[in-house]
Structure 1
Amino acid sequence: MMLRQKSLFKDKVFVALPDEPRDGKSILSWAIDHTSDSAEIIILHIVRAQKRAKRLECMYIMEVKLRREVEAQLSQIKEDTETLKQATIMLQNELGWYKYQWNATVNALQNVNKQKRLLEHSISESDSIASDLGESVRVSESLVQSLKLEYNKVKRERDDAVKEARGMRIEKEFTASSVYGAFNSEFSLTELEQATQVFSDSLTIGRGGFGSVYKGFLRNTTVAIKIHNAKSLQAKSQFQQEVLVLSRVRHPNLVTFIGACPEASAIVYEFLPNGSLEDRLNCVGNTLPLDWHARFRIITEICSALIFLHKHKPHPVVHGDLKPGNILLDANLLSKLSDFGISRVLLESSVTGSDAHFTSQPMGTPAYTDPEFFGTGELTRQSDTYSFGVTILRLLTGRAPLRLVRLVQEALNDDDLHSVLDHSAGEWPLVQAEQLARIGLQCTDISRQNESTSPVATPSYFLCPISQVVMRDPQVAADGFTYEADAIRDWFDCGRDTSPVTNRAISNCDTVPNHALRSAIEEYLQQNKLQKQFAHG
C-alpha cells in the first residue's frame, strides 16, 4: 500500500512495508519497486529498528545499573566476608581463652576436692577426739557427782552432829533446875488409873496415832490425861518433847500443863469442856455454830500464842502441827493451843544462818503443813505461819482445808468472797472478812514474795531431787524426802537401795502420797499462770 501526501516542496510518499518479504524480494527492494524515484521514502522499518535500538539501549542502561548493583553487593559481601573472617579470628581467640579458663577451673576444682578429702579426714579425726573427750567428760561428771554426793553426805553428818550437840545443850538448859519445871507435878500411874477409872472407854475424849486422851478427876481437879502409846518409839519421843516445851512456856492461849507421869508416858492438862475448834466447826454433838465474833477473837488469840512462841527467849519454839483439831476451847470459848508433841525449839541453821530445825522425816497434818517443810525438812516460824493462814481461811469459810487457798483466792479475784463465807456464823462484816482472808492468803504465800504481780522462781522443794523438774505426783519415800512418783519408782527399779539425797541405805521401797505438797504445787502453778496472764494483759 502506498500513501501520497503533497507539500509545498515536493510530494512525500509513505510506503507501508509489509512485515514479511514478498515475492522473494527483500522489503527494501519491494519498497523501491512500489515508489517513484522522486518520492522520499521513509521506511517505517527503520523506525522500528530505532525503537529496538532504544529498547536495547534502555536494557543496556538497566544492565549496567544492575551490574553496578551486583558489583556493590559483591563488594558488600566481600566486606562482610572480611568482617566474618575477623570475627572468626576473635571467636577463636576467645574460645582459646575460655579453654584456658576451663583448664584452670578444672585444676582448681581438683585442688578443692583434694583439700575436701583432707578436711574430711581431719573432721573424722576430730570426731574421734571429741568422742574420746566426751567420754572423759562423762567420766569426770560422774566423778564430780560422786564427790558432790560424798560432800553432801559428810556435810549432812556434820550438821546432824552439830544439831544433836546443840539439842542436847538446849535440853540440858531446859531440864537443869527440874525435870518438869517449878510449877508442875509428877503423878504416878496409880493416880492416873484412879482418876480415869482405869482408863475407862466412857471417859475417852480423843484418840490418835500418838495414843488416847481421857477425862479424869485428879487431886480435886477435872483434867485431861494424854496417854502416849508405850510401844511406839515416836510416841515416847513426842512425850518427852511435849514435856520439855510445855514445862517452860506459859501463856493464856496455851493449854495449861499440870504435870506428867513418866511411867505411863502420860501428860496431864487442864480440861477444856468445849472440845476442839475442829469439832465446833463441824458442829459435832449438835453444838451451835461459832458466830463470826467468836471466830475473829479465836484468830486473834491464836495469833497472840504464836507470837509468844516464836519470840520465846532464849530460843524460839515452833508448834509444827497447828490446826483446828489442836485448838481447844474452854467454857467461855477461850481458845488454847495444845498438842506440842512435834514442836521444836529452834536452833540456828548452819545452812541458812537463821533459826530452823531440820529433820529427814517431816511430820504434821498435810493439808495444814507448809509444803516447804515437807520438801526440805526445814521447820521454821513460817511453817506455823502457813498453818495459821489455812486455819484463818477455815474459820472464815467452814470448808475443808484441801485446795481451800485456791478457792478463797479465786473468790477474791472475782470479788465474790461472800459466796464462800460460812453463813452459819451470821452476817459477816465483809470489809473485815476480806482483810482477814487476805491475811490468811499472805500467810500461805509459798512464794514468799510481797508483790503478787512479780514473776517468782520455782521453789526448790517443788522440784524432784532426782529429775529436777516440778513434781506432779509427789511421793514421800522411807528416807523422809519427797520425789516424783515415776522418778523414785525408776530409781528403785534399777536395783538401788540407797536414798537419792543422802546416799544412805533406805529401809524399804514404799512411798506415801504427799497430798499437802501436791496441793501447794497446784496452787503455785495456778497462781503463776494468773500472774503471767496479768503481766501480759
Structure 2
Amino acid sequence: MGAAEDRRYFKKMTEIRSKKAMFVRDKADISCQIWFICDGHLICTREAQTGQVIVEVPTDAPSPTTPTRGAGKLALWKSRSTPPQRSGTAKFHPFQEILRRAFSSSADRRAVAPATSPSPDSSPSEQPNVASMLEWPDTPLEHIRSLSPHPQLIQSVYHTAQSSISNTLEYHTGVPEGLEEGVTTRAALEVDIIEGGQKDPRKLEEELERVKDQQNKVMEELCVALEQKLQLESQFAETDESRKELEQKIVAANEMLRTYRQERELLRIELDNALQKVEEVSRRKGDSSGTKYFSEFSMTEIKEAAQNFDPSLKIGEGGCGSVYRGFLRNTPAAIKVIKLHSMHSSQEFQQEVDVLSKVRHPNLITLMGACPKPCTLVYEYVPNGSLEDWLRSSTRAKQLPWQARIRIATELCSVLAFLHSCKPHSIVHGDVKPANILLDEHFGSKLSDFGICRLLSSGEQSSNNTTVLYTTDLKGTLGYMDPEILVTRELTTKFDVYSFGIILLQLLTRRPPLGIANVVQRAISTGTLDAILDPLAGEWPYMLAEKLTRLALRCCEISRKNRPDLRSEVWTELESVAASYR
C-alpha cells in the first residue's frame, strides 16, 4: 500500500501521510500484514494478528464484477513470519514478478492465466496467494529495463497486471477503492519505465556527441583557467616581493626620520643655549660698556649714498618719513629719513636706535647706523620689499606658495618670541603688520619699524602674572591692534600675539584684516574652509590649513588670557608643521 505520493517522500520518513493508507491501516482485517511504501522505500509495516486468514466467498451471491467462485470456503494459508527489514536503499517493485512472467517462456505466461481467472473447481492451494503476489523478487529492475519487448507484448503485460491486481483485490472485501487505484498506478509506472528505456540509437549517439563536445569545451576552459591561475600566482609572487621591498624601505625611512628628529632636537637645544649665552653676553656688555651694534654716519655720507635723495631711488614713503635705496661704504643700504614734525618723532627715532642697536636676530632688520641730524636711520637693504606688497598683488601672490607662507609665519613667531623674552626688559613691537615685514631674496622675513615699540619692566605685573605697561597713548594700526587695550589701557606681550594671529589668517586667505577672524570662524563652523583659502598659494593640504587656522583663531581671542604663548605653544607647533612639509 502506498504511504504517500512519491513526490512527498523524504529520507527519514517513518509515518504514512495518505488518508487512504491510514484508512486501510485502521480498517483492514487484523489478519492482514500490510507494507506501506513510498517511492520504492518501505516506510512502515502493520503486522498481522493471527497466522491464518480465512475469507468466505458465498456461492449463491456472485459479484457482478468478478467470476463465480463456487460454494465453500477459500482458505488462504500464510505462515506468520518476520516482516522485511527496512533499508535506506531498498526498493520495492511489486509487479516485477508479473512482468518477468510476461517476458519469459510461454509456460511462465500460462502461469499468469490462473491468477487472472480462477476456476471454481480449483482447490484452495491453487488459488492465488496474496502474499506471494506482493512478494518482491530478487530480479533487479535494471534487468527488466535491459529487455527489448515488442509493443504488443508490453500492452499484454499491462492488461495481465491489471487483471491480476483486480482478482487479487477481490479477496479483500471492504478495502477502499483508493488501494486498487494506487496499485494500478504503480503498474502503469513500471510499464512507462520499460518504454522509456527504449530509445533510438541515433539519438543516443547524438547525445553522446553533444556530451563529448561539452566535455571538450570544459577541458579547454579548464586549461585557460589553469594558465590564468599560473599568471596570477606569478603576479602575486612579484607583488609580494615588491611589498616586502617597500616595507623594508619604509622601515629604513622611519629609522632615518627618527634619527633626524633626534638630531634636530639636539640642534634646537644647542641653539637655545647659544642664544641664551649671546643674550647674556650682550646684556653684560651693554650694561658695562654700553657697546652698540651700529655706526654713526655723517649727513654728507648719507646724501652721497642716496645721491642727494634722488626721487628715482625712493623705495617707500609713509607718515613718518621716506626710504631711499643707497650704497654706503660699499654696502647696499636702505636709508630712512624721519620727518621731524613733532617731539614724538624724535622720541621714536631715539627709541628705535636704542632697541635695534642692542639686539640681534636672523629675522630682525639690521640697523647699520644712524645720523642724529637730521634723524636718519640706515638699515640693511632687503630686495623683495614688504609682505604687504606680495599679498596685495595677485601677480606677486602667485609667487608666494603656501610653503613660503608657513616659513614666513614661523620666522615671524620666532623673532616676536625673542623680543618678548629679552632681559631685563621685554620688548613689545606694537605695530606688527605685513607692511613692516620685509622679504629678502630667499623670501626670508625681517621685522622692521620699531618706532612705537615699548619696553616692559619685569617688576610690573598684572593680575595674571603678565608684564604690563599702562599707557594712555594708543598707537598702532587699526585691524592689527589688540581690542582689549581699548578698554584696559594695558600693553602686554599678548598685543603682538593678536597681531600675529591676524597676519597668519591673511597668509591663509589673503583677505583684509578687518573682520577676518569672524569670517574664518564661520567657515570653520560650517565646514567651508576650502572656499576661503587663497588659491594663489597652491593646493593647501586641508589638515594643515585647518590646523593653522585654528591656531590663528586662538591668537585672535578677544580676551588676552585665552591667547597662547608664542614661545612655548605657537612656535613649537609651527616648527613641527614646517618640518613635516619641508
TM-score by length of 1: 0.50
Say which one has the larger Rg. 1
**TM-score between the two structures when normalised by the length of structure 2:** 0.46
